[in-house]
Amino acid sequence: MKEINYLNMYKLYLFTFSLFISIVCNSQKQTNTHIILPKSIVLKTLRILLDNGKKEENILHNDIDGFINKEFISEYASIKISYNLSNGESINDLFFVNNQPSIIKYFYSSSETAKLNYTLTNAYDFKIQKNKFLEYTKNEVQECKEFLEKYSDSIFINKPLIDSIYRSKFSALSTKEMQYISMNSSDYYLKWYFRRNLLKSNLIDNKSVYNVFKRFPKSYIDSEEGIFIKNYLNSFTAFKKGEELPFFRVKDIANNFVSLLDYKHKSNVLVVFWATWCVPCINEIPTIRALKSKYKDLEIIFISYDTDKSLFLSKIKEYQMDWIHIFNDIDLINSYGSYKAIPRVYAINKNGQLIYDRDQDKDKDLSLLEIALFNLYK
């Protein structure tokens, strides 16, 4: 009897270990893609973008001679290739790859030298799914196209009627797209389109977007890509005064872990979302620096939207921003509402409670922040 129990325990161990290895391997996916382009391309017009399930990354030109090896969290990584040929032809293609070795090869057909074709090995263009999708929405797409051709110079320049028509037409298109995605929620191309084009649309209410998301298979909703989307949707809920902000534990630019829990019962904290290209963000740095000087134990955490790290680091030095910096952590930005405008500022007391939210407090010049901190330290 004991031998049987030991045998069963050994089998259970093997199953658990193999499951663990499977999970680890599946969570560490990496592309292994070779892109082969004809010599006639104009390199200065070439652009390759890789979407890893969270954000898009520009692939440098010299990478195309070898393999593109990039980590991704989604079921497929997408690769967008665009460039101009010497004859003036413009190429814009979208491909999907997983962690299998894959090849995307462009070539000229022998009969039509002006026409560029491609072959795919373990790579996919999802043309069937894409064409069905476009067929379903073609009327709305055509209306939007005609509207843009006629009024492109008049949109968003203080012409309320034209802006209203614009929103109406593109809202109708988005609604039609969501209808189709809801009916075909197992197609990965539609999941990708939902995340890239509808998730952050300001033409659709958050509840409708969430209802479409819930139609996806549970395996997708519970995947790392699905959790990323879910966190973004949950960020639309306004943070409540007196409650704690969403938890995060990330590395700063000095490679140290930063967590709001570390400051609980120890320090008051200022959390600021910003970017070097944001003029109001830069203009407010002297005010933040003055607050840091006035309240010595005030911890300041700046979270940057930047993608150019060298520029980011140079600005930190230039503006003497002597506090904690987190560079382009997309999960953190997503969980706090990447759709929200910057600069975005939150103040948290030593109990970990939110006492100031710039958006909710409608504080234009940080004067209300100064009052909130004064009351906190008096």
Three-state secondary-structure class, residue 116: strand
Q: For the segment 122-181, what is each residue's pLDDT rounded down to a tens digit?
A: 999 999 999 999 999 999 999 999 988 888 776 666 677 777 888 899 999 999 999 999
Res 227: pLDDT: 87
Ranking 18-27, 108-117, 229-238, 315-324 by mean pLDDT, the lowest is: 18-27
Q: How many CA atoms lie within 13 A of 248 on its CB side?
A: 19
Res 62: pLDDT: 61
Per the prediction, the chain carries an average pLDDT of: 86
Provide the token pair at 109: 């057909």
Ranking 13-22, 24-33, 336-345 by mean pLDDT, the lowest is: 13-22
Sign of CA dihedral 124, 128, 132, 137: positive
When pLDDT is averaged across residues 14-31 and rounded to a whole number, the result is 53
**Residue at 229: amino acid letter:** I
When pLDDT is averaged across residues 90-102 and rounded to a whole number, the result is 93
Identify the helix (H) or strand (E) that includes residue 59: strand 56-59
Res 107: pLDDT: 85
Can you tell me which residue has the tokens 């970017």?
275
Cα–Cα nearest to 306, from 287, 337, 336, 281: 281
Q: For residue 378, name the pLDDT band (cuts at 50, 70, 90).
A: confident
Q: For residue 346, name the pLDDT band (cuts at 50, 70, 90).
A: very high
Residue 306 backbone phi and psi in degrees, to 5? -65, 155
pTM (two decimals): 0.68
